[in-house]
Structures are given as structure tokens and as C-alpha cells.
Structure 1
């Protein structure tokens, strides 16, 4: 009888899981709460079925649900891998999935680059005359003082490039079963990622232009801000990998979790290089640089 139920293939038929359904509910609550938060920020109500949801609390409830689902779902995935469910075929498909995810992220950032280049390359061809007048027929727009690309942006560029070398060091250490090198490489990468996020926050706090009021500020903060969010996500990803490495869960033969984190981090590095050269250097060329 046991032989009839024995597995004779390399594919992983997962057990029924509640996490996709619960995660969808959490995402909906988070989106609904975000709308209510924005309505409150604008000084308006958000009444549904006689209840005013104009507050940030529902957003944080949804966020807590999503974060818990992420923890529980990925814990199940790690458990399945340790139990031998991630065969050669399954591991290959996990890699395909990560590649497709990164490809979708590339298109996500392509949209923000498209918005930036649309405004910067054709400042005289705006559909609305008011926008043309606001730009002054040039880019950066008239009256905008830009950030010095050779100051904090250059520092952050060097920081991320160094983090790319340390995560590669950690990967090579893992392949050679050098546990100490793996842990040190991951720890240094995390530290560099935290430094980048702090410098980015400091730069935003002292930026000479705001998100609202100019298309330069809008495209700048949307593109660099979403990249900063990805750096935070990647740092959390690497922290989880560091904890797993300290527990001895990665081996030279089976370490896709770390590999996926390294791919994601390299993707973040490459996107920043495009942001640095396109937005910080080329996009601010010829504009007055803000002091301080």
C-alpha cells in the first residue's frame, strides 16, 4: 500500500496551504487602508457602509497580515527544502521563478525611467501649456537647484558597489564551504546596505526640492524612492540569509535561498548605477547645485 503512494517523480506536489488566501486578504486590507490614510492626509473622509475609514490603522493591520504571511509561507518553503522536496527539477523551477520576478522588476523601473525621460527629453512638447511654462522649456526646470552628484550620491554608489563585492565574496565562501567567510561577507553586505539607506534618508531630508510642486521632484523621488524601498527589502532578505547561515542551513550543494538574495542584491546594484548616471548626473547637468 505504501508503495502505491510512493513518489516516483522529481516534482513537488505541495500540501494545501492557507497562505495565498490569507495573503490576498492582507494585501486587500493594506490597499484599502492606504486609501483611507491618503484621504485622511488630504483632510477628507472615507465613508464605507456608514463607517469612516480615513485613518492609517487599517493599513498597518493589513501590513501586519502580509508580513506574517511572508514569514510563515517562506518558513514552510525552507522546511520543504530541508525535507528533500526541492529536487533538481524543483530547484531549477525556483530559479526560473526568481529570474521572472527580477524581469518584472526591471519593467517596473523601466516605467519610472520612461516617465523621467519623457519629461526631461521633451520639455517643450508637453501636452499642457501650464506644464511647459513650469518647466521653462528646459531640464532641469527653471528654479530647481539639484543635488551635487559627486557628493552623497557618489558615496552611495561606491557603497553599493562595495556591497556587491562582499555578497559575491560570501557566495564564493559558501561554494568552498567557508562558513566564516560566508557569515562575514553577509554581515558586511548588510552593514553597507544599512549605510546606503541612512545616507539616502539624510539626502531626502535635506533635498532642495520637494516631491510636490515640480515634475522634477516627482520623477526623482519616485524613481530613487522605489529603489530605496528595494534596498530595504534586499537588506531584510540578506539578514534572513545571515541568520540561516549562522544556523548552518546552507550547504555548497543546496543554497538557493542565498542565491536568490544575491541575485536580487546585484539587481539593486545595477538599477542604482542607471539611476546615478541618468538622474543624478545627466538629468541635473547644467543646473545650479544646491549648497550644503
Structure 2
């Protein structure tokens, strides 16, 4: 009679990192809300609170992930714990899908229902006459009720270049993953380095795009009505996720240089790859519905 062998499941000691992360997110929420609500005034210190929260998040992530890396490299993790990591990352990406679904839903509602209703569509003939008599349904809305005008951001130029960059980076990330599975370290370093570079170039071009949007020529601001709101919220939050994904890939790159990961044990790299492919897919959807349609 044989006995079934059970794997050990490593349970880490109590950690202070979760409460540090909670405080950091609280500061970010308070700081961001205060900063946005006082964009047109010199009141409040929301920007400083936001920066403090971001700094605390960086500190928390560095400390917490350092602990996880050390535990993994010391051989404390088993196959069962690896499955837990996979489930956790899968649910995290699912939560991110729902996050962007909410913003795309708001865009869909504004374009499909709110804008036509203001022009009297359906049974709302009096709505437009009462709220905005001179309103004409169109998208993007380039004029607000107070007469403020703006300019739509075209899909060509920087947005198209950024789309090509992200799609290319998804391919190079896949090549890096294949090289890791085949234990080809030089190719792994090359393709992963190119992926990181493409991510950094994307972020640089997005900063240039925002500078162009806020120029006197375009006057496309966060306060430029529903179009400005949805444009900067969707592209801005996506840019934040690209920043996070780029940081993850940079960490993976340095770990590769230190000799971490094997063809049979590299879920951290795989998780970063999953996340990068996710932000690429979101950008393609965003490019179509925010820039083109």
C-alpha cells in the first residue's frame, strides 16, 4: 500500500506590507481627488498628498516583492503555491478588465444615449429644448454648454505610432517568453530589453501627445466637457497601467541579468507577460473607440 505524498505549503510570517499599501492607496485617492477638484485654483495640497501616496506605494512594492523574490529563490515555494500565484494574477487581470469596462461603458452610454437624448432623440424632445436648445448631436462633442470649444485628437500621428509600438512590444514579449522556455538566455535578454525600450518610448510619446492636447492649438483639457473627460480618463489610466507594466518588465529584466528563472520555474516572468499583453489589448480597443470611431 502506497501513501500519497503531500507537498508542503509555505505560509509566510506576519507582514506589515498590506497596511502600508492600504495607507498608500488611501493617500492616492485623497490626493488625486483633491488635485483634480482644484485644477483651476491654487488651493489645496492634493498634489503633494498624491505624490506621497505614490512614493509609499513604490516603497511598499519594492519591500514586499523583495520578500517574495527571496522566498522563491530560497526554494520555499511549491507547486501548490505556484497555482495560488496563478489564480491570484488571473483574478487581478480580471479586476482590471472590469475597471476598464466601467470606463468604456461610460463612453458607450454618453455616445449612445446621453448625446442623442440632448438632441431630442426618442421621447426626449423637450430635454434638449430645456437643457441645451442649440445642441446638435455629434461625437466628439467639441463645444460645451458654456461655449468652450476644443479640438478632437486624431488617430494618426502619435496615437498610430503608439499603437504600432505596443503591438510590436507584445510580439517581442512573446519571443522573450519562448526564449526563456527554451533556455536561450542571450535571446531572452535581447527580446525583453527591446520590449522594455518600446514601453518607455510609448510613454514618452504619450507625454508628447498630452502636451500637444494642452497646447493653445488644440485646447483639449480634462475640463473640456464629456469628450475631454473620457479621453484623458481612458488614455490616462491606460498610461498608468503601461507604466506599471513597464516597471514589471524592468524588474524581470534585471532578474534575468542576475540569472533568475528557469524553463520550469518562471511564473513571475509569465505574470508580467500576461499583464503586458492585457494592456496591449486594452490599447487596441481604446484606439478604435476613442481615437477612430
TM-score of the pair, normalised by structure 1: 0.84
SS at match of 2:117: coil
1:34, distance to aligned residue in structure 2 (A): 4.0
Gaps of 5+ in 1: 1-6, 47-53, 283-292
SS at match of 2:162: helix
SS at match of 1:12: coil
SS at match of 1:14: coil
SS at match of 2:85: helix
What aligned pairs does 1:51-200 form with structure 2 within 5 A after superposition? 54=45, 56-122=47-113, 123-126=115-118, 129=128, 136-143=136-143, 145-200=151-206
Q: 1:263 aligns with which of 266, 274, 277?
A: 274
Q: Which moved more, 1:189-198 or 1:61-70?
A: 61-70
Q: 1:242 aligns with which of 253, 256, 261?
A: 253
Please provide the CA RMSD for this pair.
Answer: 2.4
C-alpha change, 1:212 and 1:168, in structure 2 (3 Å) is: same
Counterpart for residue 287 of structure 1: none
Q: Is the 8 A contact 1:39 1:45 kept in 2?
A: no
Counterpart for residue 218 of structure 1: 229
Q: 1:274 aligns with which of 252, 267, 285?
A: 285
Gaps of 5+ in 2: 119-123, 144-149
